[in-house]
């Protein structure tokens, strides 16, 4: 059985993509097939690690606001 390092595989896939290609990849993955979710997690991890503390706080605030908006509450 082959060990698959997901982080390394995703990094290899995205490392040579242009800004437009990265944007398209994210746009196509959001609300898409659940198979894309692990890849988005790795991409988010990269963004998080390269973000300043204020940028991280903004991301968390955005997530919090989304989770607590009227439109996103579970029925």
**In terms of pTM, does the model score above 0.85?**
no
Q: Is 48 helix (H, G, I), strand (E, B) or coil?
A: helix
CA-CA distance, 33 to 73, in Å (whole number)? 21
CA angle 31, 26, 6 (to 5 degrees): 100
Within 10 angstroms of residue 63's Cβ, the number of other Cβ atoms is: 10
Tell the residue number behind the tokens 């290609």, with chain if given. Answer: 21
DSSP state of 74: -
pLDDT digits over 35-66, tens only? Answer: 889 999 999 999 999 999 999 999 999 999 99
pLDDT digits over 22-33, tens only? Answer: 999 999 999 888
């Amino acid at each position: 059985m082959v060990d698959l390092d997901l982080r390394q595989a995703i990094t290899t896939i995205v490392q040579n993509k242009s800004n437009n290609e990265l944007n398209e990849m994210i746009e196509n993955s959001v609300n898409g097939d659940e198979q894309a979710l692990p890849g988005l997690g790795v991409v988010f991890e990269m963004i998080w690690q390269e973000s300043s503390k204020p940028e991280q706080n903004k991301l968390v605030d955005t997530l919090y606001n989304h989770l607590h908006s009227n439109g996103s509450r579970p029925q």
